[in-house]
Amino acid sequence: MVQSRKLTKKPVIENRQAKFNYELGENFEAGISLLGWEVKSIRASSVDIKDGYIIMKKGEAWLIGMSISPLKEVTHEVDPIRTRKLLLTKPELSKIFKGTQEKGLTCLPIKIFWKDNLIKLKISLGKGKSKFDKRESIKQKEWKKEKAKNLKLNSNFS
């Protein structure tokens, strides 16, 4: 018998601090080399990517600082903050290497999402914002909220 599978909404984990602290540039989509318990934990949304960053070592990209909390069912000893290998093509690796080494940019994880049955990581090259830039982005955000609020009020009166 063929059972119909329900399409469940799989979690998307975002790094919102990266958008606030960095001016993001070029984006890449990378696969992650994970263990079985890590996939189950990501499905349960017990992941923290805000402290993560990507380094280049021997022509490969490595994700450092991403914390995946193990579920209660995991009985063996695990390392939640282990270094994970990113799966990228050679042209993508060279672009990231050039951006981090020559231009002085930082490579950050932005979002973890599901693509078909695979877990993907959206990474981006970013330049750190100064305190002035952060204040400017807060002002722009508040202005957009105020503008949307005023437009909504004006459309209700029409």
pLDDT digits 0-9 by tens, 38-70? 888 888 888 888 888 888 888 888 999 888 888
> CATH topology for 13-129?
Small Protein B; Chain: A; (2.40.280)
Q: How confident is the model at residue 90 (pLDDT cuts 50, 70, 90)?
A: very high
Q: What is the pTM of this model?
A: 0.72
Residue 72 has pLDDT above 50, yes or no: yes
Residue 124 has pLDDT above 60, yes or no: yes
Instruction: Report the share of the chain in percent with pLDDT over 90.
Output: 6
Q: How confident is the model at residue 1 (pLDDT cuts 50, 70, 90)?
A: very low
Higher pLDDT, 36 or 31: 31
Q: What is the pLDDT of residue 122?
A: 92
Closest CA to 110 of 10, 11, 32, 18: 18
Tokens 């402290």 belong to 51
Q: What is the pLDDT of residue 5?
A: 53
Q: What average pLDDT does the chain have?
A: 82
Concatenate the DSSP letters of all residues of the chain into one string. -PPPPP------EE-HHHHHHEEEEEEEEEEE---HHHHHHHHTT-EE-TT-EEEEETTEEEEES-EEPPPTT--S---TT--EEEE--HHHHHHHHHHHHTS--EEEEEEEEEETTEEEEEEEEEEE--HHHHHHHHHHHHHHHHHHHHHHHHHHH-
